[in-house]
């Protein structure tokens, strides 16, 4: 079964544990500038929104790459940057409509979420369940359940 990162902004408090976990996983630093997941604060709306790559099936970044440096991991479904192949041309950063693949000046390559080989550090670090790693086919299950709970069935059973 393939899994998918599931982001629920309603549960996010903006603590940035996910960003630290990501930076630590990939660079062994807590400096969140290195994180591939970002939490955005919409202060005047009182909203915190985590955001990262959704691993498109037809991935713009992968298609745009002129040197085939982005590959599909058939197990996790992640689109993975092959660092030795990447030439840092940044075409993928232009092609991605979501801004979730970015250049890293330190390495001269691009980076994006690779789902940590199927065990994403951000989801493990999230204290509120705003980031979970769930059955890719059922990311809507929680919402369905919430709506199901609102169904009035008491009259029928009375």
Residue numbers at the binding site for another protein (CB under 8 A): 13-17, 20-21, 23-24, 27-34, 43-48, 106, 125, 127-128
Tokens of 42: 């919409």
Q: Which of 83, 129, 101 is nearest to 37 (CA)?
A: 101
Q: How far is the CB of 102 from another protein (least distance, A)?
A: 13
- Where would I find the H helices in 28-126? 60-64, 91-95, 121-125
Residue pair 87/69 in contact (Cβ under 8 Å)? The answer is yes
Residue pair 32/40 in contact (Cβ under 8 Å)? The answer is no
Q: How far is the CB of 128 from another protein (least distance, A)?
A: 7
Q: How far is the CB of 43 from another protein (least distance, A)?
A: 6
Query: Of the two residues 45 and 58, which places its CB atom closer to another protein in the complex?
Result: 45
Query: Of the two residues 45 and 57, which places its CB atom closer to another protein in the complex?
Result: 45
Q: How far is the CB of 31 from another protein (least distance, A)?
A: 4
Query: Of the two residues 65 and 133, which places its CB atom closer to another protein in the complex?
Result: 133
Q: How far is the CB of 30 from another protein (least distance, A)?
A: 5
Q: Report d(CA 39, CA 48) in Å as an integer.
A: 6
CA 97 to chain centroid, in Å, comes to 14
Residue pair 29/19 in contact (Cβ under 8 Å)? The answer is no
Residue pair 126/18 in contact (Cβ under 8 Å)? The answer is yes
Query: Of the two residues 105 and 158, which places its CB atom closer to another protein in the complex?
Result: 105
Query: Of the two residues 15 and 56, which places its CB atom closer to another protein in the complex?
Result: 15
């Amino acid at each position: 079964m393939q899994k998918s990162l599931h982001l629920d902004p309603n549960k996010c408090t903006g603590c940035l544990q996910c960003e630290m976990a990501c930076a630590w996983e990939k660079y062994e630093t807590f400096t969140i500038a290195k994180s591939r997941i970002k939490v955005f604060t919409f202060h005047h709306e009182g909203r915190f929104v985590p955001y990262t790559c959704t691993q498109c099936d037809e991935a713009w970044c992968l298609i745009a790459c002129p040197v085939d440096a982005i590959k599909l991991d058939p197990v996790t479904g992640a689109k993975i940057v092959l660092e030795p192949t990447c030439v840092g041309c940044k075409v993928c950063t232009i092609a991605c409509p979501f801004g979730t693949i970015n250049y890293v000046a330190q390495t001269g390559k691009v980076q994006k979420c690779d789902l940590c080989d199927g065990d994403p550090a951000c989801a493990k670090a999230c204290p509120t369940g705003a980031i979970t790693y769930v059955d890719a086919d059922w990311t809507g299950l929680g919402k369905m359940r919430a709506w199901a709970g609102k169904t009035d069935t008491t009259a029928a059973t009375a």
